[in-house]
Structure 1
């Protein structure tokens, strides 16, 4: 199979990954003995309608990471540890494929040769990663264990991956810069989305890394809200934008919160509470830091600010122990990002998921290491669905100033997010070029 895949970057330079070296590294990390490893690329999914149209095909990231093949529909990467040999089985490109879609033949062994390859190893257990492969059964428990080892081995980013993510961050920064003149009363959320994403594409992005989230006013406290052409920014609104460009499958994930017109003192204090906590959390992203500890430290940091604002009463660390922070900060501090949003998040090897309800939305429980790229995205929100709950009001009657909360239930919330590269020294903020200011 081809030794490496060349990709043209958004600026015309050639980006090269050393796939043989990557596969060799992964093989050492997985330490397979007699099992056969199969990694499936997957198949397109039909659109939910009566037609022959398909949703855009995306090769499974576990397959793509070791091949770089974006259009290998049904492709299979196979590894036999007995001879330490990788074999890439690829679909044959037909005349119709060339005529209708302009496809070219991917280097490798045609898929027609896979059944004989597998039959020659019929007495050996199969470990399967990526997408399921029709007609092939596997050791499910062993496959799940190997998937966790594979995920852990992929977590540190190679220099070429970091460079791709820097290009994605640059495209994202261009988008956020473009929308600044549009942050004014009377503009719709949908208009912001159009201007933002168009600028990503002008700067080399193929698509967004995920569906852009834009929410104005109360909608700024809806975590995955879709931008609407009917909701217009109004004077005194927060507008929260969570969006990022994708370049060659690598994703940037950024959130900024802006103020429209004249904001109240309470809104400004809320913003500063999140901004200060977010900046301090970014600075703490160093090797050896426990992510769960950083999450709780950041929660206590924001509780300290809410206490100073008169929203809560008591020692910030005790308030966190009582889960008071989840009233205003009901999600986790962040996650890993890379070959897809939340890519390779999860648990440190050997750990079980922490059962505490306050951590149900914490995307990872890891020790930070050099090469990791993580999002740092604390937030404070006034969410009516949470704060109007009678049970919570009764439970926290003595530590929450409910009268003050009720006065501000209409404002929504604030979240600020950057992508941080953990290094052996100072953390590097890949999205530092996107200003963090209310105006």
Structure 2
């Protein structure tokens, strides 16, 4: 696979190793706890998959930088046993027999060893933990920018996701359960080529729409309620991550106003996703815009900028604006190399803190919620007594919330919305 050679060469340059050996493990299947001769579905560690493009239990990718940035890589794979062929239908993956890894290491004895991915169990193998962690930081940063193969897979996942959302919308009506909507959505993914959901599907109706990570239940949607859906299809380990919020039946003016604030904020935040933009600044600008909308609705009091500085926005917008996505739902997120996590409490949930670069695929997902656990908390009510019109907020505590999320490709020019085929109809 030519793209894999190019990818490995790029990683080798980013790691800048000289005498150190690198081992990246795939991991092993994990047995179910009840001794049923079954395992959890196997997924190779993302570090390994990125370098091997294989779901290979026990696999190891190794690098000897002395042998060159392309030819120095070698993929060791275990021999498939007769039992695995008979019971699982497994076939031998391409690569060098794993039994030769010990010989490979012995011929390079005395050189430093770095590891990441899943642990590589080898007797006497002593990896340098600090150097390994530093190398993995450089590795993660190197793979933040997606290559053309990765972007093509994310586009396919976005297309399958669009089919799933279309199926869900067709089933949306009073009386339909969250679980039934999940089934329609995920069947739509599968019919369009999705291998599986990329993460646990979220479908929340009514007050459940304010629960950030909600497992769909048998609750039935009622007329006039919000329905928040956060889901994405996965194809060859690459995925989309999309949120849409709907209203069953007729929306109230307040619901339409709340939705309009979030939609406008999302559109403006997407426009800011240009090369060189600091993600933290994009996040804070979105927070100010949404707080300004809440002030206009009479729910908050004061200057939007001041309210965000006081962290009052976290009452209604308690999460970060988004994260990187691709090979995993938060693929490559975190801080720029050498940057410490911002200690401010209001940025505790910010999953990304770096300047955007061409090739990054980022989620943009502003949201406003009425979360009783936050809004009924006495300490918060005291701290933000003058920031919030509590009498205006209390009647909406069972309303739920609104989140709108798209996946955006940063380019050398204007940002591209990869999930634009999924409508965002005004309620």
Q: TM-score, normalised to structure 1's length?
A: 0.95
Q: Give the Cα separation in 2 of the matches to 1:199 and 1:181.
A: 11
User: Could you list the per-position Cα deviations for residues 91-132 of structure 1 after superposition, in whole angstroms to 9, with x for gaps in the alignment?
Assistant: 101222222222211122111111121122221111101101
Q: Does 1:29 align with 2:17?
A: no
Correspondence for 1:9: none
Correspondence for 2:161: 172
Q: Does 1:430 align with 2:415?
A: no
Correspondence for 2:99: 112
Q: Give the Cα separation in 2 of the matches to 1:393 and 1:121.
A: 63
Correspondence for 2:207: 218
Q: Does 1:82 align with 2:71?
A: no
Q: Give the Cα separation in 2 of the matches to 1:99 and 1:411.
A: 54
Q: Give the Cα separation in 1 of the matches to 2:81 and 2:168.
A: 44
3-state SS of paired residue (1:318): helix
Alignment of structure 1 residues 378-389 onto 2, 5 Å? 378-389=366-377
Q: How many residues align?
A: 422
Correspondence for 1:10: none
3-state SS of paired residue (2:61): strand
Correspondence for 2:48: 63
3-state SS of paired residue (1:338): coil
Contact 1:245 1:252 in 2 (8 A): yes
Q: Give the Cα separation in 2 of the matches to 1:141 and 1:162.
A: 32
Contact 2:22 2:114 in 1 (8 A): yes
Q: Give the Cα separation in 1 of the matches to 2:223 and 2:185.
A: 21
**TM superposition shift of 1:181:** 2.4
**TM superposition shift of 1:319:** 0.6
User: Could you list the per-position Cα deviations for residues 244-289 of structure 1 after superposition, in whole angstroms to 9, with x for gaps in the alignment?
Assistant: 0001100100000000122222221111111110111011100010
Q: Give the Cα separation in 1 of the matches to 2:126 and 2:270.
A: 44
Judge which range, 134-143 or 31-40, deviates more. 134-143
Q: Give the Cα separation in 2 of the matches to 1:147 and 1:260.
A: 46
Q: Does 1:185 align with 2:169?
A: no
Long gaps (5+) in structure 2: none
Contact 1:189 1:214 in 2 (8 A): yes
1:309 to 283, 288, 297: 297
Q: Give the Cα separation in 1 of the matches to 2:306 and 2:335.
A: 26
Contact 1:40 1:74 in 2 (8 A): yes
Contact 2:22 2:115 in 1 (8 A): yes
3-state SS of paired residue (1:37): strand
Q: Give the Cα separation in 2 of the matches to 1:204 and 1:224.
A: 25
Contact 2:31 2:38 in 1 (8 A): yes
Long gaps (5+) in structure 1: 5-16
3-state SS of paired residue (1:407): helix
Q: Does 1:244 align with 2:259?
A: no
1:127 to 102, 106, 114: 114
Q: Give the Cα separation in 2 of the matches to 1:60 and 1:394.
A: 46
3-state SS of paired residue (2:104): helix
3-state SS of paired residue (2:66): coil
3-state SS of paired residue (2:313): helix
Contact 2:3 2:149 in 1 (8 A): no
Correspondence for 2:357: 369
Q: Give the Cα separation in 1 of the matches to 2:231 and 2:396.
A: 26
Judge which range, 93-102 or 31-40, deviates more. 93-102
3-state SS of paired residue (1:82): helix
Q: Does 1:94 align with 2:81?
A: yes
Q: Give the Cα separation in 1 of the matches to 2:333 and 2:383.
A: 33
Correspondence for 1:286: 274
Contact 1:257 1:438 in 2 (8 A): no
Judge which range, 364-373 or 80-89, deviates more. 80-89
Alignment of structure 1 residues 142-181 onto 2, 5 Å? 142-181=131-170
Q: Give the Cα separation in 2 of the matches to 1:96 and 1:50.
A: 18
**TM superposition shift of 1:184:** 1.0
Q: TM-score, normalised to structure 2's length?
A: 0.97
Q: Give the Cα separation in 2 of the matches to 1:82 and 1:284.
A: 43
**TM superposition shift of 1:386:** 0.2
Alignment of structure 1 residues 412-427 onto 2, 5 Å? 412-427=400-415
Correspondence for 1:330: 318
Q: Give the Cα separation in 1 of the matches to 2:211 and 2:314.
A: 15
Contact 1:379 1:416 in 2 (8 A): yes
**TM superposition shift of 1:21:** 1.5
Q: Give the Cα separation in 1 of the matches to 2:170 and 2:338.
A: 50
